[in-house]
Amino acid sequence: MIKQEELRINIDRLVGSLRQLGDIGALAGGGVCRLALTDEDKAGRDLLSTWMRELDLDIKTDELGNMVGIRKGRQSVPPVLIGSHLDTVGTGGLYDGSLGVLAGLEIMRILDEFQIATERPLAIANFTNEEGVRFTPDMMGSLAFSGIVAASEMLSAKTVDGSGKTVGEELTRIGYAGAIPCGTFEVDSFLELHIEQGPLLEEEGVDIGAVSMVQGIYWTEYQFTGSSNHAGTTPLHLRRDAGLVAAATATFVRQLALKMGGDQVGTVGLIELFPNLINVMAERARIIVDLRNTDAQALAQAQQLLEAEIELLAAAEKIAFEKTELVRFPPVQFDREIVAVIEKVSEDLGYSHKKMPSGAGHDAQMLAPICPTAMIFVPSVGGISHNIEEFTKRSDIEKGANVLLQAALRLLNRPLD
Amino acid sequence: MIKQEELRINIDRLVGSLRQLGDIGALAGGGVCRLALTDEDKAGRDLLSTWMRELDLDIKTDELGNMVGIRKGRQSVPPVLIGSHLDTVGTGGLYDGSLGVLAGLEIMRILDEFQIATERPLAIANFTNEEGVRFTPDMMGSLAFSGIVAASEMLSAKTVDGSGKTVGEELTRIGYAGAIPCGTFEVDSFLELHIEQGPLLEEEGVDIGAVSMVQGIYWTEYQFTGSSNHAGTTPLHLRRDAGLVAAATATFVRQLALKMGGDQVGTVGLIELFPNLINVMAERARIIVDLRNTDAQALAQAQQLLEAEIELLAAAEKIAFEKTELVRFPPVQFDREIVAVIEKVSEDLGYSHKKMPSGAGHDAQMLAPICPTAMIFVPSVGGISHNIEEFTKRSDIEKGANVLLQAALRLLNRPLD
State how far the alpha carbon of A371 is from the alpha carbons of A145, A188, A292, B145, in Å. Answer: 12, 6, 24, 81
Contacts A277 to B, Cβ<8 Å = 269-270
DSSP letters for B252-280: HHHHHHHHH-TT-EEEEEEEEEES--TTB
Are B247 and A244 in contact (CB < 8 Å)? no
Are A272 and B268 in contact (CB < 8 Å)? no
Q: Which of A267, A187, A147, A165 is nearest to B317 (CA)?
A: A267
Categorize the per-residue pLDDT at A104 as very low, low, confident or very high, splitting at 50, 70 and 90. very high
pLDDT reported for residue B75: 96
Q: Give how many domains chain B has, as a whole number.
A: 2
- The answer, yes or no, to whether residue B334 has pLDDT greater than 80, is yes
Are A236 and B265 in contact (CB < 8 Å)? yes
In a domain, B164, yes or no: yes
Categorize the per-residue pLDDT at A280 as very low, low, confident or very high, splitting at 50, 70 and 90. confident
Q: Which residue of B has its CA nearest to A358?
A: B233
pLDDT digit string, tens, across residues B263-306:
999 999 999 999 898 888 999 999 999 999 999 999 999 999 99
Q: Are B390 and B195 in contact (CB under 8 A)?
A: yes
In the predicted model, what is the mean pLDDT of residues B101-127? 98
| A191 and A149 co-located in one domain | yes
Q: Quick count: other Cβ atoms within 10 Å of Cβ A358?
A: 28
| B319 and B343 co-located in one domain | no
Categorize the per-residue pLDDT at A29 as very low, low, confident or very high, splitting at 50, 70 and 90. confident
State how far the alpha carbon of B74 is from the alpha carbons of B5, B30, B56, B131, B245, in Å. Answer: 19, 43, 16, 36, 64
The per-residue pLDDT of chain A, averaged, comes to 96
> B315 vs chain A: nearest CA distance in angstroms?
16
pLDDT reported for residue B230: 87
Q: Is B67 helix (H, G, I), strand (E, B) or coil?
A: strand
pLDDT digit string, tens, across residues B76-99:
999 999 999 999 998 899 999 999
Contacts A284 to B, Cβ<8 Å = none
> B30 vs chain A: nearest CA distance in angstroms?
18
First-to-final CA distance of chain A = 28
| B163 and B311 co-located in one domain | no
DSSP letters for A59-79: EEEBTT--EEEEE--SS-SPP
Please tell me what DSSP assigns to residue B199.
S
- State the virtual CA torsion across A401, A403, A409, A414 in degrees, nearest 10: -150
| A52 and A80 co-located in one domain | yes
Q: Quick count: other Cβ atoms within 10 Å of Cβ A242?
A: 26
Are A197 and B233 in contact (CB < 8 Å)? yes
| B35 and B183 co-located in one domain | yes
pLDDT reported for residue B29: 86
| Bridge partners of residue B333, in order along the sequence | B213
- State the virtual CA torsion across B224, B229, B233, B235 in degrees, nearest 10: -30
The per-residue pLDDT of chain B, averaged, comes to 96
* Domain end (from B261, B295, B329): B329
Give the whole-angstrom CA distance, residue A239 versus residue A337. 58
Are B254 and A276 in contact (CB < 8 Å)? no
pLDDT reported for residue A228: 87
Q: Across the A/B interface, how many CB contacts are shorter than 8 Å?
A: 199
Are B234 and A258 in contact (CB < 8 Å)? no
| A279 and A385 co-located in one domain | no
Are A360 and B271 in contact (CB < 8 Å)? no
In the predicted model, what is the mean pLDDT of residues B144-163? 92
Q: Which residue of B has its CA nearest to A220?
A: B278
Q: Are B271 and B250 in contact (CB under 8 A)?
A: yes
Q: Which of A307, A298, A301, A323 is nearest to A249 (CA)?
A: A307
In the predicted model, what is the mean pLDDT of residues A272-301? 94
Convert A253-274 into a string of H (helix), E (strand) and C (coil).
HHHHHHHHCCCCEEEEEEEEEE
List the single residue in A197, A228, A246 with the smallest CB-CB distance to B230. Answer: A197
Q: Which residue of B has its CA nearest to A251?
A: B248
- The answer, yes or no, to whether residue A279 has pLDDT greater than 90, is no
* Domain end (from A293, A310, A329): A329
| Bridge partners of residue B62, in order along the sequence | B180
Q: pLDDT exceeding 70 applies to what percent of chain A?
A: 100
Give the whole-angstrom CA distance, residue A208 versus residue A354. 7
Q: Which of B329, B327, B390 is nearest to B196 (CA)?
A: B390
| B81 and B190 co-located in one domain | yes
**Residue of B224, B244, B278, B388 best to disrupt the A interface, most CBs of A under 10 A:** B278
**Ranges A92-106, A250-264, B152-166: which has the least confidence:** B152-166
| B74 and B220 co-located in one domain | no
> B29 vs chain A: nearest CA distance in angstroms?
19
pLDDT digit string, tens, across residues A363-373:
999 999 999 99
Residue A40 sits at φ, ψ, to 5 deg, of -70, -40
CATH of the domain at A299: 3.30.70.360
Beta-strand pair B208-214/B332-333: antiparallel
Are B229 and A292 in contact (CB < 8 Å)? no
DSSP letters for A29-62: TSSB---TTSHHHHHHHHHHHHHHHHTT-EEEEB
Are A244 and B268 in contact (CB < 8 Å)? yes
**Residue of B233, B263, B274, B283 best to disrupt the A interface, most CBs of A under 10 A:** B233
In a domain, A192, yes or no: yes
Give the whole-angstrom CA distance, residue B312 versus residue B301. 17
Q: Are B315 and B232 in contact (CB under 8 A)?
A: no
In a domain, A417, yes or no: no
In the predicted model, what is the mean pLDDT of residues A50-78? 98
Contacts B238 to A, Cβ<8 Å = 199, 203, 383
Are B238 and A277 in contact (CB < 8 Å)? no
Return the amino acid letter for A219. Answer: W
| Cα of B153 vs its chain's centroid, Å | 20
pLDDT reported for residue A60: 97
CATH of the domain at B39: 3.40.630.10
Q: Which residue of B has its CA nearest to A252?
A: B248
| B11 and B154 co-located in one domain | yes
Ramachandran class of B267: left when φ > 0, alpha when ψ lies in -120 to 50, beta otherwise: beta
| Cα of A111 vs its chain's centroid, Å | 27
Are A258 and B276 in contact (CB < 8 Å)? no
Helices (H), A72-150: 98-113, 140-145
* Domain end (from B279, B307, B329): B329
List the single residue in B203, B235, B258 with the smallest CB-CB distance to A265. Answer: B235
pLDDT digit string, tens, across residues A325-356:
988 989 999 999 999 999 999 999 999 999 99
| A78 and A171 co-located in one domain | yes
In a domain, B287, yes or no: yes
Q: Which residue of A has its CA nearest to B203?
A: A238
Q: Is A25 helix (H, G, I), strand (E, B) or coil?
A: coil
Are A234 and B268 in contact (CB < 8 Å)? no
Q: Which of B288, B251, B327 is nearest to A287 (CA)?
A: B251
pLDDT digit string, tens, across residues A139-195:
999 999 999 999 999 999 999 888 889 999 999 999 999 999 999 999 999 999 999
**Residue of B200, B230, B239, B283 best to disrupt the A interface, most CBs of A under 10 A:** B230
Residue A140 sits at φ, ψ, to 5 deg, of -60, -50
- The answer, yes or no, to whether residue B417 has pLDDT greater than 80, is no
Q: Is pLDDT larger for residue A29 or for residue A108?
A: A108
Give the whole-angstrom CA distance, residue A256 versus residue B237. 14
Return the amino acid letter for A391. Answer: F
Contacts B361 to A, Cβ<8 Å = 232
Are A254 and B241 in contact (CB < 8 Å)? yes
pLDDT reported for residue B141: 98
Burial of B324 (0-12, 13-18, 19+ CB in 10 A): exposed
> A115 vs chain B: nearest CA distance in angstroms?
40
In a domain, A179, yes or no: yes
Are B269 and A248 in contact (CB < 8 Å)? no
Q: Which of A138, A165, A164 is nearest to A38 (CA)?
A: A165
> B275 vs chain A: nearest CA distance in angstroms?
8
In the predicted model, what is the mean pLDDT of residues B236-241? 95
pLDDT reported for residue B126: 98
β strands within B122-188, DSSP E: 122-126
> A220 vs chain B: nearest CA distance in angstroms?
10
State how far the alpha carbon of A79 is from the alpha carbons of A64, A70, A72, A74, in Å. Answer: 20, 8, 8, 11
- State the virtual CA torsion across B165, B171, B173, B174 in degrees, nearest 10: 130
List the single residue in A215, A271, A281 with the smallest CB-CB distance to B269. Answer: A281
In a domain, A250, yes or no: yes
In the predicted model, what is the mean pLDDT of residues A240-255? 98
Return the amino acid letter for B13. Answer: R
DSSP letters for B202-231: HHHT-SEEEEEEE-EEEEEEEEEE----BT
pLDDT reported for residue B393: 97
Q: Is pLDDT larger for residue A278 or for residue A409?
A: A409
In a domain, A364, yes or no: yes
Domain that residue B357 falls in: 4-214+332-412
Q: Are B171 and B179 in contact (CB under 8 A)?
A: no
Are A233 and B197 in contact (CB < 8 Å)? yes
pLDDT reported for residue A325: 92
| A321 and A186 co-located in one domain | no
Instruction: Report CA torsion sign: A373, A378, A379, A380.
Output: negative
pLDDT reported for residue B215: 95
Q: Which of B410, B399, B347 is nearest to B374 (CA)?
A: B410
| Bridge partners of residue A280, in order along the sequence | A230
- The answer, yes or no, to whether residue A400 has pLDDT greater than 90, is yes
Q: Are B64 and B47 in contact (CB under 8 A)?
A: no
Residue B232 sits at φ, ψ, to 5 deg, of -95, -30
Contacts B89 to A, Cβ<8 Å = none
Contacts B244 to A, Cβ<8 Å = 250-251, 254, 268
Burial of A297 (0-12, 13-18, 19+ CB in 10 A): exposed
List the single residue in B228, B269, B387 with the smallest CB-CB distance to A276. Answer: B269
Q: Which of A209, A210, A12, A19 is nearest to A109 (CA)?
A: A12
Q: Which of A314, A322, A239, A315 is nearest to B268 (CA)?
A: A239
| B304 and B356 co-located in one domain | no
pLDDT reported for residue A200: 93
- The answer, yes or no, to whether residue B229 has pLDDT greater than 90, is no
Are A268 and B280 in contact (CB < 8 Å)? no
B208: number of CA atoms within 13 Å, CB side?
A: 30
Return the amino acid letter for B169. Answer: E
pLDDT digit string, tens, across residues B168-227:
999 999 999 999 999 999 999 999 999 999 999 999 999 999 999 999 999 999 999 999
In a domain, B417, yes or no: no
Q: Are A250 and B282 in contact (CB under 8 A)?
A: no
Give the whole-angstrom CA distance, residue A322 versus residue B182. 54
Spatial CB neighbours of A70, under 8 Å, sequence gap ≥ 6: A57, A58, A59, A60, A79, A121, A122, A123
Give the whole-angstrom CA distance, residue A369 versus residue A365. 8
Q: Are A357 and A263 in contact (CB under 8 A)?
A: yes
Contacts B247 to A, Cβ<8 Å = 246-248, 250-251, 268, 271
List the single residue in A231, A250, A290 with the smallest CB-CB distance to B244. Answer: A250
pLDDT reported for residue A386: 85
Contacts B241 to A, Cβ<8 Å = 254, 267
Contacts B242 to A, Cβ<8 Å = none
Are B269 and A273 in contact (CB < 8 Å)? yes
Are B234 and A203 in contact (CB < 8 Å)? no
In the predicted model, what is the mean pLDDT of residues A278-290? 94
List the single residue in A215, A230, A385 with the smallest CB-CB distance to B198. Answer: A230
- The answer, yes or no, to whether residue A63 has pLDDT greater than 90, is yes
A296-316 helix and A242-260 helix, angle to the nearest 10 degrees: 150
Q: Which residue of A has its CA nearest to B259?
A: A236
